[in-house]
Amino acid sequence: MTPAPRSYGVYRPVLPVTSPRHPDRMVYTGDADGRCEIFTWDRSTDTGRQLTDRPHGTLLCAIDEDEAVWWFDEDRGGSGGWRTQDFHSGPDRPALAGVPHGRPAGLALAAGGLVAVGIRSHEGLGIHLGRRGGIATSVLHTTDSGALCDLAPDGELLAVSGPAYSARAVTLLSPDGTIVAVLSGTGERTWALGFAPPLASLPGSASLPGPEPLPGSASLPGLAPSPGATSPPGPMPVPDPGPMPGRPLLLVMRERAGRYHLGTWAPGRGVELLPWCSFDTETTARWYPGPGTARVLLRQDRHGRSRLFTADLQRRELTPVPTPQGSILDAAPAADGDVHFIWTDAVNVPRALSSSGASLPGQSRWRLPRFGHRQDLWTPGPDGPLHTLVTTPADRPAPHPLVLLVHGGPADHDRDAYDPQVQALVGSGYAVARVNYRGSTGYGPHWRSAYSEGVGHTQVADLVRARAELLDRGIGREGAVGLYGTSWGGYLTLLAMGTRPDLWNAGVAVKPLADCVTAFRHSTPALQALDTALFGGTPDEVPEAYAHASPSSYAAAIRSPLLVVAARRDAKCPPEQVEAYLAVLRMGGVAHELMWLDSGHDGYDGADHLAVIRKSLRFLGRGLPPAPVRAEPSPHPERR
């Protein structure tokens, strides 16, 4: 029997990866009949092809200097290995022999087919080095949490990232596994961002002019003032002339004194921060490609929106990259100097754009409806104002049935960005509030680390605060307020439903963290390290902290309808801990609905996402019935 055609697509915008030698040749993840698959595209000839075709989709891809396309071939549990195929055609092959199957933990490509691969398995993290099509050698094996960051262009140094707050935030290794340097993040959180292209120059070389003012810095809140606004007295010191061949330069970001500072690390010099390039909220960066470059593209997330900048490390200049107001979900400099970025706002579907105006592949051809009005809401709170992004139906009278759509993370935030769940809810008659509770990114280090009321309970307090404001303003309707969250957002949904059962009239928790102790026992080393830092120890060391934060401790108190959606192959929120939570619900006689998915935490098949949205809308429709559509006056009543 021929399957029925699908009436939906996958809207997961991903930037194309450009060929180092031919910027017009790109690989990207696109929609293939409702799945994510890998495609190639040649802009110069406007030709492309679908490279992968797997039942449950493919997400990760890369391209090396010889234009071999790399893609990660994983099973439904997320475990697998890298394969390659020529850009234009040909069979696919195992990329590197001798690398065990596992979960991807970084891929770095250097000249001459040299590659470093990070693979995470139950035994820990392994870093392997070799040449495409050859046999890999093991560089590192550790049970510590971490991932491969990058491989130096000459292949003589590898950077491995650990937790940014740990004593091993960044480890520099030689190809034989010898530790060259370790950058600690215990006092100042530190991130590695990648090695510079060959022969890039360090900031401050002997031929540089004096510092110059930042272009337009006075009109851009969140940037550090330029120390070069006035000329310093006396002659400038003559610094090191910069790296020579074989002397790699690593880009880093370090949190210091409430700001995020760009810096570099080089052998013999250590970390050197750039005082003219710091930001008040989370910012990431990547090198412009090409030999001899000393330019960096920066993306700052600030108050639910984004900005791009180019930093010239030689001239010590920070220049804004013009983009529309909204959110930049990803950005990358291309080999020809262009900047590619994914832009969206609350009513516009994410799309790939370029600073030059050049076309990019993978654009959605679907025309999607737009629902509702949007506004920003700021609510006073103990650690500063609480930011909520609100979208309300345009065709129905207020007050509305209200859904607080709770983001995951916790190190994440809701953005001024198109969200299919928001559009589905608003189009169904609900007002939707997305709360950037304490612990969210995009509001600075103080907000990110504010857990004054305990893990989970601090965030629930912010959801309660936002709920009260939304009702006071007449946006939401008392007696018709629900919660809907995925992953960590699902955790907060369950915790809020149990600790403040009188405030919520329905709840949907998708792939949630539901029982903290059981989740720790069945989780990955990376998530165990995160929990240990978050709670101040393991469940054996601080059992009270885990019990206090665990939704299962309060599950029996839930009084409103609850829908739990879980995944049988979920490694981040394992099914065992959901089963433990469900057992508490059953023992307490709590009415609930359950939906199991045969997938992992991050599914690549749109069918699962669509099924969850449909199930959730039907469920919410029973607990939070929306108001009828407002009838507009018609000059011809008989034709209404």
Task: List, as one string, the DSSP characters of 301-358.
Answer: EETTEEEEEEEETTTTEEEEEP--SSEEEEEEE-TTS-EEEEEEETTEEEEEEETT--
| Burial class of residue 367 (count of CB atoms within 10 Å of its CB; 0-12, 13-18, 19+) | exposed
b/e sequence 603-636, b meaning 16+ C-beta within 10 Å: bbbbbbbbebeebbbebbeebbebbeeeeeeeee
Neighbours of 24 (CB within 10 A): 16
Amino acid letter at 3? P
| Burial class of residue 33 (count of CB atoms within 10 Å of its CB; 0-12, 13-18, 19+) | middle
Q: Give the pLDDT score at 101.
A: 93
Q: Give the pLDDT score at 409.
A: 86
> Considering only CA atoms, which of 364, 325, 358 is closest in space to residue 340?
358
The answer to whether 385 and 378 have CB atoms below 8 angstroms apart is yes
- Rounded Cα–Cα distance for residues 452 and 382 (Å): 9
The answer to whether 52 and 545 have CB atoms below 8 angstroms apart is no
Q: Show the tokens assigned to 143.
A: 């049970």
| Long-range residue pairs from 294-301, CB within 8 A, at least 24 positions apart, any chain | 294/196, 294/200, 294/201, 294/202, 294/203, 295/333, 296/251, 296/262, 297/321, 297/331, 297/332, 297/333, 297/339, 298/262, 299/328, 299/330, 299/331, 300/222, 301/413, 301/415, 301/441, 301/442
- Could you tell me the CA-to-CA distances from 533 to 121, 528, 538, 549 in Å, in that order? 21, 9, 9, 14
| Burial class of residue 476 (count of CB atoms within 10 Å of its CB; 0-12, 13-18, 19+) | buried
Alpha helix (H) ranges present in 169-232?
Answer: none
Q: Which residue(s) pair with 272 in the sheet?
A: 264
Q: What is the dihedral of CA 531, 407, 8, 14, to 10 degrees?
A: -70
Q: Give the pLDDT score at 365.
A: 61
Alpha-carbon torsion (418, 421, 427, 433), positive or negative: negative
pTM, 2 dp: 0.81
- Rounded Cα–Cα distance for residues 561 and 440 (Å): 28
Domains in the chain with CATH codes: 373-623 (3.40.50.1820)
Neighbours of 101 (CB within 10 A): 12
Residue in the structure block whose two tokens are 């929609």: 31
Q: What is the dihedral of CA 223, 224, 229, 233, to 10 degrees?
A: -160
| Burial class of residue 11 (count of CB atoms within 10 Å of its CB; 0-12, 13-18, 19+) | middle
Q: Give the pLDDT score at 369.
A: 67
Q: Which residues contact 558 (CB under 8 A, 6 or more apart)?
A: 497, 498, 501, 507, 585, 588, 590, 592
**Radius of gyration (C-alpha) of the chain in whole angstroms:** 25
Cis peptide before 399 (omega within 30 of 0): yes
Q: Show the tokens assigned to 227.
A: 């120390």
- Rounded Cα–Cα distance for residues 200 and 289 (Å): 10
Residue in the structure block whose two tokens are 């003559």: 238
**Phi and psi angles of residue 135, each rounded to the nearest 5 degrees, phi first:** -105, 130
- Could you tell me the CA-to-CA distances from 50 to 132, 171, 287, 591 in Å, in that order? 22, 38, 29, 46
Q: Which residue(s) pair with 150 in the sheet?
A: 159
Q: Which residues contact 487 (CB under 8 A, 6 or more apart)?
A: 408, 409, 510, 511, 512, 513, 572, 573, 601
The answer to whether 610 and 8 have CB atoms below 8 angstroms apart is yes
Amino acid letter at 300? Q
Polymer length in residues for the chain:
640
Q: Give the pLDDT score at 364.
A: 61
- Rounded Cα–Cα distance for residues 31 and 8 (Å): 10
Q: Show the tokens assigned to 634.
A: 């018609």
Q: Give the pLDDT score at 206.
A: 32
Residue in the structure block whose two tokens are 């209404």: 640
User: Strand locations in 338-430, DSSP E?
Assistant: 339-345, 348-354, 373-379, 386-392, 400-406
Amino acid letter at 640? R
Residue in the structure block whose two tokens are 């989740």: 519
pLDDT tens digit sequence for 524-579: 887 888 899 899 999 999 999 999 999 999 999 999 999 999 999 888 899 999 99
- Rounded Cα–Cα distance for residues 128 and 378 (Å): 48
Output the CA angle 96-102-108, nearest 5 degrees.
50
**Phi and psi angles of residue 571, each rounded to the nearest 5 degrees, phi first:** -90, -20
In which residue ranges of the chain is pLDDT below 70? 1-13, 199-246, 292, 362-370, 603-606, 627-640
Strands 386-392 and 373-379: antiparallel
| Burial class of residue 369 (count of CB atoms within 10 Å of its CB; 0-12, 13-18, 19+) | exposed
